[in-house]
Homo-oligomer: A and B are copies of this chain.
Amino acid sequence: MNVEKTAAIVGVGLIGSAWSVAFARAGWRVQMYDERAAACEAYGAWADATWDAMVAHKLVTAADARAARQRVTLCSTLPDALDGACYVQESAAETVEVKTSLFSQLDGLIGKDTIIGSSSSGIPGSAFTEECKHRGRMLICHPVNPPHLIPLVELVPTPWTDPEVVEKARGIMTAIGQTPILVRKEIGGFVLNRLQGALLNEAWALYEDGVASLDDIDATVRDGLGLRWEFMGPFETIDLNAPGGISDYASRFRRMYSEMNNGRKKGPWPDDVIKRADEDRAALLSRSQLKPRSEWRDGYLMDLVAFRKGMKRD
């Protein structure tokens, strides 16, 4: 068995299942485990549908999809899943209790070089790995849902994660086609959710203050800002938006952005505003259409990923 290309995925929910596709597509053997039998039973139909959709959207050939699908095994015990794996992607429920207990088990079972990345989206690794013997080989590898389509992964080491392990995890993520970034401090929300949160909090504040309708705020992103951000981050965007680059841009506009920032208090989203937003969304999209619209989103995302594959990005 090729230990260097065997991943164990612990937790066969939405995220763990999507991880299996990302690893298998890159030629890795994937060994999955979930103590919940129902999750394992649901996996087969989900995987078949997902690979079929990827073939239909020209993200993979039918032959490659078939071969990849066959590299995934559902295991009936945790030790079976870990057997021969150089990397474990933990994707269990997002509570400190579940993760603490699971990491303690994993700690007693993993091979001597095995690295464990957690899909935790908010709980820092130090909250559930401190007591582990092998805590130097544990870190957060936070994906964006679904990781087989959206490449970004946040690597968030704990204070005791071995720097070499961080580099190995980065190498694994790069090898399977993800885009790993390094979050140097265990800050709440890491980087992705902090950026998303900043925009969301402003969106809620604009909506609460009646500056624009909910759908007009959404349009500003999907028909405006999103056309840049699909292929350039905020710093490159401003670097190219003034003749002298980023410092030129900053000297022209930082006062404007600073004034915007200080203009209004942004508290938590109030109950009555959430209620109003819920009614507005229901008027735009009947609640019975949430699922079909999510399917449309998934299809659109696959087409967008196929488009990106054909583009030279640097």
Contact = CB atoms under 8 A, between A and B. Distances in A.
A225 B195 contact: yes
Interface residues of A, number: 101
Nearest to A305: B227
B223 A151 contact: yes
B268 A255 contact: yes
Contacts of A130: none
Nearest to A213: B182
A257 B216 contact: no
A187 B290 CA distance: 33
A104 B211 CA distance: 28
Contacts of A46: none
B232 A230 contact: no
B235 A214 contact: yes
A150 B268 contact: no
Contacts of A144: 224-225, 227
Interface stretch (A70-78, A95-103, A293-301): A293-301
Nearest to A186: B211
A222 to B, nearest CB: 5
A197 B294 contact: no
Given A181-B220, A257-B269, 12 more contacts: A144-B227, A195-B199, A197-B202, A197-B257, A198-B199, A218-B235, A218-B236, A226-B226, A239-B281, A247-B275, A300-B311, A303-B311
Interface of A: 122, 144, 149-152, 154, 179, 181-185, 187-189, 191-203, 206-207, 209-236, 238-240, 243, 245-247, 250-251, 254-261, 263, 266-269, 274-275, 277-278, 281-282, 285, 287, 290, 293-294, 297, 300-301, 303-305, 307, 311, 313
